[in-house]
Amino acid sequence: MAEDLQHIHKQVDEIISNRGRTKKSLIPILQDIQRHFNYLPEEALQYLVEQSEITPENITSVATFYSQFRMKPAGRHMIKVCVGTACHVKGAMQVYDSFKRHFKLNDNDLTDITGTYTLEKVACLGCCTLAPVVQVDDVTYGHVTSDKVESVIADFESQVGKRGDRKQFRNADGSEFQGEIRIGLGSCCVASGSEEVKREVENTIIGTGINLQLKNVGCVGMCHQVPLLEVIDEKQNHKLYAKVKPNEVSGIINSHFKPKSLLGRLKAKGYSFLEKMQSDESWEGVERYALDVREDMVSGFLDRQLPVATEHRGVINPLDMDEYRSHGGFEALTKVLGMDRQELIQTVKESGLRGRGGAGFLTGLKWEFVEKEKAEHKYLICNGDEGDPGAFMDRMILESYPYRVIEGMLIAAYAVEATEGYFYIRAEYPLAVIRIRQALINCREQNLLGENILGSNFSFDMQIYEGAGAFVCGEETALMTSIEGNRGFPTIRPPFPAQKGLWGFPTLINNTETFAQISYIIRNGKEQYCSIGTEQSKGTKVFSLAGKINRGGLIEVPMGITIREIVEEVGGGVQNGKKFKAVQVGGPSGGCIPASLADTPIDYQSLTAVGAMMGSGGLVVLDEDDCMVDIARYFLSFTQNESCGKCTFCRIGTKRMLDILNRICSGKGTLKDLDELKYLAEWTKKGSLCNLGKSAPNPILTTLKYFHEEYEAHLEGRCPAGKCTEMISYTITDDCIGCTKCAQKCPVDAIKFEAHKKHSINTELCIKCDACRPVCPVDAVKVL
Amino acid sequence: MIKLKINSQSIEIPKGTTVLEAARKLGINIPTMCHLEGTEHFTSCMVCLVKDAGNGRLLASCSMPAMDGMEIITDDAECLESRRVSLELLLSEHVGDCEAPCQLVCPARMNIPLMNRLIASGNFSKAIEVVKRDIALPAILGRICPAPCEAGCRRKSIDEAVSICLLKGFAADNELTTNKHSVASSSNSGRKVAIIGAGPAGLAAAFYLSKADHSISIFEKNEKAGGDLLKIEETVLPANIREIEIQTILNSGVAIQYQTEIDKVRFTELQQNFDAVILATGAMNGAMEEWGLTLSKSGIEVDKKTYQTILPKVFAIGNALRPSKLAVRSVGQGKELAHLLDEYFKNDVLHALPERFNSKFGKLIETEYVTYLKESNTNKRVDASGGKAHGFSSEEAVAEAKRCLHCDCRNPESCKLRALADEFGAVQKRFQYDDRVLVEKEFVSKKIVYEPNKCIKCGICVRLTKQHQEAFGFSFIGRGFDVRIGVPFSESIEKALEKTAVLVAEKCPTGALALLDSEEQL
């Protein structure tokens, strides 16, 4: 025990010496402690108090506020079930329940009996196109259904021993360039196995003499087709392969490139490679997914888009600075340094760019406010605390275009004379943190950060601040107080951050996407930017398109495009031929826009007019199988969970609305409940302190407005979409062919195993996990 | 300097002044709970919302800096509604009783827990004073009352109810035997009240009206005062007890005429000669219709809240309204009417006595017994060894009084939540959709009590412990709806509040933190 204590003290000492001993280091210190011990041991916290200026009150209030921190040890491996919007509509809760059953867990203890696995829900992993998504430690599994729990665990366990055993890619001699292979390394791509594909490419070409450049590129946006592999051959022909599996890689390479020598061939992969060269067998499998950029599917996805923040998507290696430069990178910064600040701000103002974080405040005006303030220090913050479930724009931009964001920040810093900058990035985005960290190092080496940037008299540097898991920290006052080492309690505005921000100094906070648009404006001029979009909403908007859509992914479209155009043209329509019902725009602050309003243009005013809001840019497509009351309940349980708990209207108002929705979803609602729900929604909107509470009722108000009949059906005990488990039951029709698949899948033996006989479901035992329905080959399992 | 208008009144104030401070300078009251002078503002309770007339938005006045040209409205319907809604939201999770269930079911609303505590501490004279605030005939009722209070007593669900009725009788007997009889007051308000009937209702009205310095004349048709009390057997209610207690009331400057029947003519005269006439006649008399009164099936028709009959100066109480065996109800009505008339005489308007807001959480569940017994003991109910008519000895009374669970709140008068709920007409049940949480009580250093489920999460205690540099202090724990105030690490509250225990209890806007021996209703 004494040794344990000594070890703890030693660790804490080390952490303090790295991070500092004042309150502002508290969150990073706690993150380090947890990284080391897998939770926050009280001995460590007490020792921290002894050794620093941090008080017990600071620690407790912070450690219990952020969802990242655990006060009790967890299992050796964390299973994170994403319950973001896209995952939710695709059955994430059933997956979660299935894991719970698998490990025999109860709500009070989510660690299995052997202490190996701890199960938790996470708000959104930002891999919406792979929904439902489960992460086991750092391995991400996509399209997980409730019956795949065992295979996920089995696969993970087969992987565990192999970690770190990655074969390095060996560069070819370089004398002769035969072509290039590009592999997407955004989170979605990685999650869908692009690392394995990359390794397989390396393995395949080792020693073959094929002289290829293997290039990692950021997110291409076509997340519905990941992993993507693009081959550019000697003649500069591009060919894009989608949903590539590792075992298909050699076939692809073989079809484009020939090994230089027979020896090379033999050295390569022995017979198997030679065999594949001569056989079409493995090739067919790949062909199914082979895409040509000219094909409709791809052009539909790309043609309506207009990349500004995501310019040069799929072309640039995120961290390759030379490449960024060769595509005009840092030109805008060079142009700006030495420019008159007022003129610069005027340019941004006149470009019409509005904040992309949701509220849509004129960016140039915000800059002007900060510029006007006279102060010894001024801070600049990039808000990358993208917490909306169903949104992953910031993650993609940070991962794929780190230099563009940094350039935008540098220009802003110059404009407002900021002295120090922060990247606030949410904890769930480790890859974004890694990329930005490296990008900052690279920038410092190139004198793009630090003293006298590029020889000018402008000095500026920035650092990363990792969020610790609190949606409310996307709110700017909460975000700043969080950097200061506090609970993320928002405060009243005024004072606005522009006057009194971080540590009381004027502070400019812009959203990641906003910064990513700046260099375009400077390089191409405000007129060109202005020509994109509508009268009131200029430029483009990045959306994460997910849900029941054929082609989900990161999209960037001009303002003014209609919802219908996005869903039908960019997204290729609703999956499986189902009927388009609504889009959820703007996450928990936004609303549900019904299919009947699909011609609503995407701009700030139009979205607000229909009761939604731009939000940060989540677009989740819903089809006829989605229950709108359930969607409202889903968002409310999110905001209720994420409410900071400070002001009465949000803290209790959201809980009471959730109480009513739970009652309605369980079939116990009354007509009066609808009135009360509306009343509470209106008061929570009016009375809450910050925008989290003020916008939390939007999903309720819009569904009440556009889908009132669904609420009424629930009052009568019916859930038309068949989602609300307390109102539905499962049955097997006479179409049953007695194949026993459903019985095999049933986790609670509610279906008796009787080969070649019509099966039936014991509704007493049935837990409505939906495991049986999708496996039936003849669609005989029905929801009543 | 900044110029703004609040409720159309202009004011000039230095920069940095909040809207709340500016309003207070104008004498405009805006309620607050989470705000405490001398600590930084926090903006959590949201009862201080005011409207910015410029854009119609509601702002938290306690922390919103006043700005040039602002036009603020603090009292329109929307502002008032916002206060009510925020209070109702806070009340929906407030698990506590302002007053104990026994007191709420007592028809006379006697402050039973306070009496119990006074008896338990041996302060018998104060105990009877408390009893007599509500019950004019405690020695009598201590013997004959069917004690609905005991049916409401929380102790009943644990073992047996506290013997409240006998305790009240004990307190009264104790005073009767020490001969501390009330003496007629020398001052006189100049208002005259005629009371017809010297039963429990009439006597109670006479007692409280006379205490308020009004002249009382009772007209009793029998040769003795007491009404239905005279019919009770000696073994239950010894005559000497009855007589001494009634006589005490009559001695306090009340004029009584025995064997005086009131007829229609006398009745009209009384209305002319007195400021008010109270009919405490017992079961109704059919002839009263001819007097100009309206009757229902059960008795004289009155306004349920003011006891006023169709004749403006005439009031009716007790069995004249409805036959009942509950003397305590008649006594309670007598008291209520007396207070009502006293107000009426002072202000010339007749208003029903306001029903105070009472937070209630219903029955205790078994797991909560332990929490409640922390304030009591597990002893069995004490019987009066000499029988009910004889009453408790001092030792018995003290022992029995100690069984009381202190169900009532320690801060019923200073609690801002209660006062504001009263002021804005908040209804506790409005948003109570969920099951309540368990009652918790923590006793700290024999100085204060912490009841977390009465907390409104205003953070005043957190700010105070920080300000006074407590080594541990209080901290917010968790977030969202489940946020609570607690102590860092596994420390005790004692350790957390080494310097500030009394201070935080004094500044708590509700009864979540209270001084252990707080007696606000003494």
What pLDDT score does A305 carry? 85
Question: Of A46, A57, A65, which has the smallest distance from its Cβ to B479's Cβ?
Answer: A65
- Asked whether residue A378 falls in the same domain as residue A432, the answer is yes
Answer yes or no: is A173 within a domain: no
- Asked whether residue A637 falls in the same domain as residue A615, the answer is no
What pLDDT score does A593 carry? 96
Distance from CA of A500 to the nearest CA of B (A): 13
Taking residues A426-433, report their average pLDDT.
Answer: 86
Give the Cα-Cα-Cα angle B412, B416, B421 (nearest 5 degrees): 90
- Asked whether residue A212 falls in the same domain as residue A100, the answer is no
Dump pLDDT digits (tens) for B87-127.
999 999 999 999 999 999 999 999 999 999 999 999 999 99
Answer yes or no: is A612 within a domain: yes
Class of domain B192-347 as given by CATH: alpha beta
- Given A505, A525, A545, the domain boundary residue is A525
Give the Cα-Cα-Cα angle A556, A561, A566 (nearest 5 degrees): 65
Amino acid letter for position B340: L
What pLDDT score does A760 carry? 92
> Is 50 exceeded by the pLDDT of residue B31?
yes
> Is 80 exceeded by the pLDDT of residue A212?
no
Taking residues B441-450, report their average pLDDT.
Answer: 93
- Cα separation, B519 vs B115, whole angstroms: 11
Give the Cα-Cα-Cα angle A337, A339, A341 (nearest 5 degrees): 105
Contacts of B154 (CB under 8 A, 6+ apart): B100, B101, B102, B364, B372, B405, B407
Dump pLDDT digits (tens) for A477-528.
999 999 999 999 999 999 999 999 999 999 999 999 999 999 999 999 999 9
Answer yes or no: is A305 within a domain: no
- Asked whether residue A99 falls in the same domain as residue A41, the answer is no
A chain contacts of residue B63, beta-carbon cutoff 8 Å: 491-492
B chain contacts of residue A663, beta-carbon cutoff 8 Å: 433
- Given A604, A623, A642, the domain boundary residue is A623
Q: What would be the CATH architecture of the domain defined by B101-179+364-401? A: Orthogonal Bundle (1.10)
Closest among B394, B496, B515, B372 to B449, alpha carbons compared: B515
Provide the number of CB pairs (under 8 Å) joining chain A to chain B. Answer: 133
- Cα separation, A649 vs B154, whole angstroms: 33
Dump pLDDT digits (tens) for B51-90.
999 999 999 999 999 999 999 999 999 999 999 999 999 9
Answer yes or no: is A171 within a domain: no
B145 contacts B134 by C-beta, under 8 angstroms: no
Break chain B into its structural domains and give their ranges: 2-75, 101-179+364-401, 192-347, 435-515
> Is 60 exceeded by the pLDDT of residue A127?
yes
Taking residues A30-57, report their average pLDDT.
Answer: 96
> Is 60 exceeded by the pLDDT of residue A275?
no
Question: How many C-beta neighbours within 10 Å does residue A747 have?
Answer: 16
B515 contacts B497 by C-beta, under 8 angstroms: no
CB contact under 8 A, A683 and B476: no
What pLDDT score does A689 carry? 95
- Asked whether residue A387 falls in the same domain as residue A454, the answer is yes
CB contact under 8 A, B472 and A59: no
Q: Has domain B435-515 been given CATH number 3.30.70?
A: yes
Higher per-residue pLDDT: A254 or B17: B17
The pLDDT > 90 percentage for chain A reads 60
Answer yes or no: is A387 within a domain: yes
Answer yes or no: is A45 within a domain: yes
Please state the three-class secondary structure of A282-339 as a single string. Answer: HHHHHHCCEECCCCHHHHHHHHCCCCCCCCCCCCCCCCCHHHHHHCCCCHHHHHHCCC
Domain that holds residue A121: 77-160
- Cα separation, B492 vs B160, whole angstroms: 34
Give the Cα-Cα-Cα angle A673, A726, B483 (nearest 5 degrees): 60
What pLDDT score does A278 carry? 32
Taking residues A66-76, report their average pLDDT.
Answer: 92
Domains B2-75 and B435-515 belong to one CATH topology: no
A521 contacts A354 by C-beta, under 8 angstroms: no
B474 contacts B462 by C-beta, under 8 angstroms: yes
Dump pLDDT digits (tens) for B189-225.
899 999 999 999 999 999 999 999 999 999 999 999 9
- Asked whether residue A141 falls in the same domain as residue A183, the answer is no
Phi and psi torsions of A122, nearest 5°: -120, 150
What pLDDT score does A300 carry? 63
Look at A126-135, A365-374, A387-396 and tell me which has the smallest mean pLDDT. Answer: A126-135
Please give the structure tokens belonging to residue A680.
């509470």
Higher per-residue pLDDT: B418 or A611: B418
What pLDDT score does A389 carry? 83
Dump pLDDT digits (tens) for A554-570.
899 999 999 999 999 88
B chain contacts of residue A45, beta-carbon cutoff 8 Å: 489
Please give the structure tokens belonging to residue A74.
């967890």
The domain that contains A651 carries what CATH number? Answer: 1.20.1440.230
- Cα separation, B281 vs B279, whole angstroms: 5
The domain that contains A226 carries what CATH number? Answer: 3.40.30.10
Question: How many C-beta neighbours within 10 Å does residue B50 have?
Answer: 28
Answer yes or no: is A304 within a domain: no
Restricting to B residues 381-410, those with a Cβ less than 8 Å away from any Cβ of A are: none
A135 contacts A82 by C-beta, under 8 angstroms: yes
Answer yes or no: is A552 within a domain: yes
Tokens 């329109």, residue located: B76
Average model confidence (pLDDT) for chain B? 94
- Asked whether residue A453 falls in the same domain as residue A502, the answer is yes
Contacts of B455 (CB under 8 A, 6+ apart): B484, B485, B510, B512
What pLDDT score does B117 carry? 98
Question: Of A64, A494, A646, which has the smallest distance from its Cβ to B65's Cβ?
Answer: A494
> Is 50 exceeded by the pLDDT of residue A291?
no
- Given A623, A648, A670, the domain boundary residue is A623
CB contact under 8 A, A652 and B93: yes
Question: Band of the pLDDT at A270, cuts 50, 70, 90?
Answer: very low
DSSP code, position B48: T
- Cα separation, A210 vs A264, whole angstroms: 9
- Asked whether residue A604 falls in the same domain as residue A735, the answer is no
Check if B466 contacts A (Cβ < 8 Å): yes
- Asked whether residue A126 falls in the same domain as residue A150, the answer is yes
Taking residues A631-638, report their average pLDDT.
Answer: 94
- Asked whether residue A513 falls in the same domain as residue A593, the answer is no
- Asked whether residue A519 falls in the same domain as residue A556, the answer is no
Phi and psi torsions of B268, nearest 5°: -65, -40
- State which fold the B2-75 domain adopts: Ubiquitin-like (UB roll) (3.10.20)
Taking residues A294-304, report their average pLDDT.
Answer: 59
What pLDDT score does A281 carry? 32
Higher per-residue pLDDT: A173 or B488: B488
**Burial (CB count within 10 angstroms: exposed 0-12, middle 13-18, buried 19+), residue A262:** exposed
Average model confidence (pLDDT) for chain A? 86
Question: Band of the pLDDT at B179, cuts 50, 70, 90?
Answer: low
Q: How far is CA B297 from CA A32, A505, A557, B196, B309, in A?
A: 80, 77, 79, 21, 15
**Long-range contacts formed by B339-346: CB under 8 A, 24+ apart:** B339/B208, B340/B306, B340/B307, B341/B193, B341/B209, B341/B214, B341/B276, B341/B315, B342/B208, B342/B209, B342/B212, B342/B214, B344/B276, B345/B189, B345/B191, B345/B214, B345/B275
What ipTM, to 2 d.p.? 0.94
Question: Of B86, B474, B480, which has the smallest distance from its Cβ to A649's Cβ?
Answer: B86
- Cα separation, A594 vs A591, whole angstroms: 10
Give the Cα-Cα-Cα angle A516, A521, A524 (nearest 5 degrees): 125
Which pTM value belongs to this model?
A: 0.90
- Asked whether residue A614 falls in the same domain as residue A631, the answer is no
B chain contacts of residue A687, beta-carbon cutoff 8 Å: 46, 49, 58, 82, 85-86
Q: Strand runs (DSSP E) across A531-585, as ranges?
A: 540-547, 553-558, 580-585
Higher per-residue pLDDT: A209 or A351: A351
- Give per-residue burial for A691-730: e unless 16+ CB within 10 Å, then b: bbbbbbbbbbbbbbebbeebbebbbeebbbbbbbbebbeb
What pLDDT score does A295 carry? 45
List the single residue in B with minimal CA-CA distance to A639.
Answer: B480
Closest among A127, A65, A68, A60 to A92, alpha carbons compared: A127
What pLDDT score does A427 carry? 81
- Cα separation, B90 vs B84, whole angstroms: 10
